[in-house]
Amino acid sequence: MTEVLKTRDEIAQGDKWKLEDIFPSDDDWETTYKETEKKIAQAEKYAGKIAESADLLVECLQWTDELSLGVENIYTYAKMRRDEDNRVSIYQAMTDRAATLSVQAGSALSFFIPELMSIPDDRFAELRQDSRLELYDHYFDHILRRKEHVLSLAEEKLLAEASEMADAPSTIFSMANDADLKLGRIKDEEGREQELTKGNFVKYMESKDRAVRQDAFNTLYSAYGRQINSWAAMLNASVKADCFFARIRHYDSARQAALDDDKVPLSVYDSLISSVHDFLPEMYRYTKLRKKVLQLSELHMYDIYVPMVAEIETKIDFAEARDMVNKSLQPLGEGYLKVLDSAYSSGWIDTYENLGKTSGAYSWGTYSSHPYVLLNYQETLDSVFTLTHEMGHALHSYFSNQKQSHLYAGYKIFVAEVASTLNESLLIKYLIEHTNDNKMKAYLINHYLEQFRGTVFRQTMFAEFERDIHAAVEKNEALTAEYLSGMYFELNKKYYGPDVVSDEQIAMEWSRIPHFYNAFYVYKYATGFSAATALAQQILNEGEPAVRRYLDFLGSGGSDYPIELLRKAGVDMEKPEPVKQGLQVFASMVNELESLLENH
């Protein structure tokens, strides 16, 4: 019997998120939209006048905050409604309108930072004497730090207007990838024909049946290959936009511009790549072990995901997944677990895949709502890790929203990945410790090693790819499909080593990675995993003091720079040690897996 993907209406209400907590209805969204349009028009009340008095500056800052929160609610609701089913035209239109409104708001707000920077130092110091402005100290300091990269009022307004066009490659990719692309059909382990989706692709790549894995691999890349020149054009346009905005803002490179917002030195990025290169021999040792255990004469890219301890069945329903996550996170204390329990019962989570639903997983929401989590749960161990990962994001948002004003509640991605991957670290440690079955232990260690491979090695490979394609555009080289595929293919060979056959299809993998449209994002997964490994170890070893530091970190939002927040929590990411410590854990786990499998 063919497994048919359900429509949105066929998904049980209790398995859907409750977006009514943002807006009770689309009509309420429309009302707020019109109110926000009026609020945008109030810009003229403040433009050119904020230095006149502290009263006017405070009022302007409050207007800015209210406008930003309104746009945040409008855009988040529309986009998340669209994500439920990308085929629904009403939410396509609402998302487009929300994006346009966001651009209009950005244009209206564009006067503020250039005008703030033009205030003479002595006058600005005088204004900041007002106690009502103490809240904005870090905000002001962050703005003034980047003074040389802010343009004139007219230029900033022009860039704000152009941002919607600059987002076009990402928007086009999303629609092509999520709404229009059909991957095709494959045969499952029983010979039944199944629809291949981005949501179930990894499940088939973990199949014990090699023919199923190969079929899924070939079918997926055949689909992307049919449009390879279009994917290249999209990515090329996106990278060009990155480089354009960096150049216009007087940065030496797009990478420097991207890292500057977090005040992260380029050396942190380069050190990550260098440290991972140093440990590539450990990765090769792992792939060699995989080839031996799977008893394959050739290890292909479609053999990378299948569990090495293949006889262990790990079909896990969602209720069981929740229980595993809750138990593993007990070291974080009762307060954390109470919020987690509330999340399950309060419409935070959209659990299962349906026709047209956006692939993958994320945590999102607004300051005035609770956080939300989009999943495409597949009853695999990997899906359990995705659940705890996204709940890490969600609870980080919850605690930040509770402790911080809207101004500082939003945290940087650099620290966001720490909260999510720390949850994963605690989950795997719990699972390994709570089994006496060596087969299961080997299976779990294999899964932990896969977390390292996917989150440290693979994301660093992505980061190196991003660095190099941006550098190519900055040297006026064209990112054709052939160029991108050639570069990606060589990186894949370097990262996976001599015991893996780099199938020609893997050269196209870049074409399906949505994170490449949010430049210099993915390296934060690797640095975040490293920081999380260290913090989890502190929590398990120290107990309450480490938990207290960590919960303070979760509640700190964006009240300081990411490097500083992590330093207060207990790790210094300006040093290579956290990354190397994580990679040493990887090496020791490879040793343990070798020992377990030899004794098996």
Q: Name the catalytic one among 84, 115, 390, 450.
A: 390
Q: What SS3 string covers 529-572?
A: HHHHHHHHHHHHHHCHHHHHHHHHHHCCCCCCCHHHHHHHHCCC
Largest CA distance in the chain: 77
| Strand-pair partners of 300 | 501
Beta carbons within 8 Å of 18's beta carbon, 6+ residues apart: 346, 347, 348
10 Å Cβ neighbour count for 537? 17
Active site residue 115: no
Strand bridging mode 185-187 / 193-195: antiparallel
Q: How far is CA 231 from CA 169, 178, 220, in A?
A: 9, 13, 14
Residue 151 gets the label, from left (phi > 0), alpha (psi -120 to 50) or beta, of beta
Is the C-alpha dihedral spanning 191, 192, 195, 196 positive or negative?
negative
| Strand-pair partners of 186 | 194
Structure tokens at 166: 């600059």
Q: Are 372 and 350 in contact (CB under 8 A)?
A: yes
CA 29/CA 569 separation, integer angstroms:
39
Q: Three-state DSSP class for 250?
A: coil
Question: At 124, phi and psi to the nearest 5?
Answer: -65, -40
CA 168/CA 166 separation, integer angstroms:
5
SS3 content of the chain, % helix, strand, coil (to 5): 70, 5, 25
Strand bridging mode 299-300 / 193-195: unpaired
10 Å Cβ neighbour count for 442? 25
Buried b (16+ CB within 10 A) or exposed e, 35-72: ebeebbeebeebbeebbeebeebbebbebbeebbebbb
Looking up tokens 């792992």 gives 286
H or E element at residue 55: helix 54-84
* Residues annotated catalytic, as ranges: 390
